């Protein structure tokens, strides 16, 4: 077993001679003068014609130069900015000395899906926001780019026949079930398998991966990257079962009867929210969940599909988060001539990753900020043809700390649209909580858990969006790991 705190300390090589030599090899002044690596990207005019991944990844020369920028701080604040406290300088310095597979191994001790996190984590608000370079008014070390570089290098090495890390404890004879197969479920499953448990993952949809597959589009996170992480889990012995809805196809009691010692619920927050304004039932108005799932998972973007999704020419996406950005950029790739983000606050308050906003702008997406739809209008066939938009201004900060949008009296515009995608948030799916009597939920509909992610039923643990109500990949993964540690300890104690 590699994944306990002692091993993480054992992996801290800051005092080793090679690290000291790297620090001595180039003065800090010279290192801080190296410009931050620029991510190679597909040309915007080309990328809106296809689904190819936009960011191409650093090459080795760029990665080593970027790793050289890292000052190997004695008290690295980047680590505290990472929700799972990855040994950031440890992995970066291994890239600098050419030991990229060792860098990947360090990442995997803390992050189950580094190739995914290197692509989608909001590093600019997490680890990179704490990098010491910010204090020097210089761009932070590109920690996310380097994480992706290390993980991709390892994936290519595995494809070329390198020996995979399937280090695991001897079987302990205990079986656990997992509901859902998103990042939270996958990190839990990997950790439990490494601890010697038999793990069965049950997914309601016909594909494994959760939002990584049905939400985040191929141009941002290729399916091949997720599939290779799934292969690693299969090698560890994790079994995946699709088209099984826990709470319907199999109940919690069924699982216990079949010999499972515990259930981990990681069923996400996939229930779309709407705004409750007139016209949301018109044809052509849909949630981003429906839009992205149909295109990413069911091939509805192809005109040959049995139920192809409509290709709007003037598409409005309501909201300012990552899901809104993924939807509007997908609409552009689906041929929208006018693809618009309609957001009630200003760009400064937008929750989406800065990189996604920039990419959307490069791809010709219009940003109608300080605008809030109040009504949709339809043609004689009941198909949406326009929206009425209330202009807003910023008022005092609200509970979220962001300046709240306040309507400007009488400032209402009408904008022609033929497709509207509503992306204003999601709620936890109530199916599992409703199907298990005695399972406590909060007033937001999330499963109530203690500090170890144990629910009100001692054999059920839960994590990710079903507990947090919508967060990030890395937080979901961190939950999976914490829950695995706590559930394993509990089950091993009970079955001594």
- Binding site residues, ligand FAD, CB under 6 A: 120-121, 179-185, 202-205, 210-211, 215-216, 245-247, 266-268, 270, 292, 322-323, 326, 353, 429, 431-432, 464-465, 471-474, 476
* Greatest extent of the chain over all pairs of C-alpha atoms, in Å: 76
Binding of residue 150 to ligand SF4 (CB under 6 A): no
Output b/e per residue, 441-465; b: 16+ Cβ within 10 A.
beeebbbebeeebbbebebbbbbbb
Gap between the Cα atoms of 148 and 224, Å rounded: 14
Q: Which is nearer to ligand SF4, 81 or 373 (CB)?
A: 81
**Strand runs labelled E in 360-452:** 366-369, 371-378, 384-397, 403-416, 419-422, 426-427
- Chain-centre distance of CA 193, in angstroms? 22
- For the bound state, the minimum distance from the C-beta of residue 211 to ligand FAD, rounded and expressed in Å, comes to 3
Of the listed pieces 67-75, 187-195, 335-343, 471-479, which binds ligand SF4 according to CB under 6 A? 67-75
Q: Which is nearer to ligand FAD, 89 or 215 (CB)?
A: 215
Tokens of 420: 């509207």
Residue 131 binding: pick among ligand SF4, ligand FAD, none (C-beta 5-8 Å cut-off by kind): ligand SF4
Please give the radius of gyration of the chain, using alpha carbons only, rounded to the nearest integer. 24
Q: Which is nearer to ligand SF4, 88 or 103 (CB)?
A: 88
Q: Which is nearer to ligand FAD, 132 or 184 (CB)?
A: 184
The only residue of 47, 55, 76, 199 in contact with ligand SF4, by rule CB under 6 A:
76
- Chain-centre distance of CA 142, in angstroms? 18
User: Dihedrals φ, ψ of 340, to 5°?
Assistant: -125, 140
Q: Which residue has the tokens 């990189």?
A: 355
- Chain-centre distance of CA 189, in angstroms? 17
The only residue of 54, 58, 88, 286 in contact with ligand SF4, by rule CB under 6 A:
88
Binding of residue 22 to ligand SF4 (CB under 6 A): no
- Chain-centre distance of CA 53, in angstroms? 16
According to DSSP, the β-strands at 271-272 and 426-427 are antiparallel
- For the bound state, the minimum distance from the C-beta of residue 36 to ligand SF4, rounded and expressed in Å, comes to 11
Residue 65 binding: pick among ligand SF4, ligand FAD, none (C-beta 5-8 Å cut-off by kind): none
Q: Which of 319, 320, 315, 321 is nearest to 333 (CA)?
A: 315
Question: Angle 69-73-77 (CA atoms, 0-180°, nearest 5)?
Answer: 105
How many Cβ atoms from other residues are within 10 Å of residue 390's Cβ?
Answer: 19
Residue 471 binding: pick among ligand SF4, ligand FAD, none (C-beta 5-8 Å cut-off by kind): ligand FAD
Three-state DSSP at 481 gives helix
Residue 350 binding: pick among ligand FAD, ligand SF4, none (C-beta 5-8 Å cut-off by kind): none
Q: Which is nearer to ligand SF4, 58 or 78 (CB)?
A: 78
Size of the site for ligand SF4 (CB under 6 A): 14
Print the binding letters for residues 171-200 with ligand SF4: x by CB under 6 A, - otherwise. ------------------------------
Could you say which residues in the range 107-146 bind ligand SF4, by CB under 6 A? Answer: 131-133, 141, 143
Where does this chain bind ligand SF4 (CB under 6 A)? 70-73, 76-78, 88-89, 131-133, 141, 143
């Amino acid at each position: 077993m590699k994944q306990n705190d002692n091993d993480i300390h054992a992996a801290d090589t800051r005092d080793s001679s090679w690290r000291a030599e790297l620090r001595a090899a180039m003065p800090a002044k010279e290192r801080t003068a190296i410009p931050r690596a620029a991510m190679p990207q597909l040309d915007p005019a080309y990328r809106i014609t296809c689904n190819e991944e936009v960011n191409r990844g650093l090459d080795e020369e760029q990665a080593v130069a970027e790793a050289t920028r890292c000052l190997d701080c004695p008290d690295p604040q980047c680590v505290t900015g990472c929700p799972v406290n990855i040994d950031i300088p440890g992995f970066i310095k291994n890239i600098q000395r050419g030991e990229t597979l060792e860098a990947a191994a360090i990442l995997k001790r803390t992050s189950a899906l580094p190739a995914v996190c290197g692509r989608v984590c909001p590093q600019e608000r997490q680890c990179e926001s704490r990098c010491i370079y910010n204090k020097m008014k210089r761009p932070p070390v590109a920690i996310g780019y380097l994480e992706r570089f290390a993980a991709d290098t390892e994936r290519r090495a595995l494809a070329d026949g390198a020996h995979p890390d399937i280090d695991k404890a001897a079987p302990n004879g205990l079986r656990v079930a997992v509901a859902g197969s998103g990042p939270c479920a996958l990190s839990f499953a990997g950790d439990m398998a490494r601890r010697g448990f038999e793990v069965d993952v049950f997914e309601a949809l016909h594909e494994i991966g959760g939002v990584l597959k049905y939400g985040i589009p191929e141009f941002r996170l290729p399916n091949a990257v997720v599939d290779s992480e799934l292969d690693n889990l299969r090698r560890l012995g994790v079994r995946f079962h699709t088209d099984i809805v826990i709470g319907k196809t199999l109940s919690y009691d069924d699982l216990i009867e079949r010999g499972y010692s515990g259930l981990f619920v990681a069923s996400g927050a996939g229930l779309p929210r709407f705004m409750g304004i007139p016209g949301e039932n018109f044809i052509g108005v849909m949630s981003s969940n429906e839009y992205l799932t149909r295109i990413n998972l069911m091939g509805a973007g192809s005109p040959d599909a049995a139920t192809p999704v409509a290709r709007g020419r003037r598409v409005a996406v309501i909201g300012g988060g990552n899901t809104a950005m993924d939807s509007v950029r997908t609409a552009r790739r689906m041929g929208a001539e006018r693809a618009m983000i309609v957001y009630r606050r200003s760009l400064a308050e937008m929750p989406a990753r800065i990189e996604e906003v920039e990419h959307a702008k490069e791809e010709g997406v219009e940003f109608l900020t300080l605008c809030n739809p109040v009504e949709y209008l339809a043609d004689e066939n009941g198909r949406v043809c326009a929206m009425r938009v209330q202009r807003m201004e910023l008022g005092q900060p609200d509970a979220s700390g962001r300046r709240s949008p306040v309507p400007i009296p009488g400032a209402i515009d009408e904008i022609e649209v033929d497709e509207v995608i509503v992306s204003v948030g999601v709620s936890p799916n109530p199916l599992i909580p409703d199907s298990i009597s005695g399972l406590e939920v909060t007033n937001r509909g999330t499963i109530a858990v203690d500090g170890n992610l144990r629910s009100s039923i001692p054999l059920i643990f839960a994590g990710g969006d079903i507990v947090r109500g919508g967060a990030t990949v890395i937080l979901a993964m961190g939950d999976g790991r914490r829950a695995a540690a706590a559930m394993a300890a509990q089950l091993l104690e009970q079955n001594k």
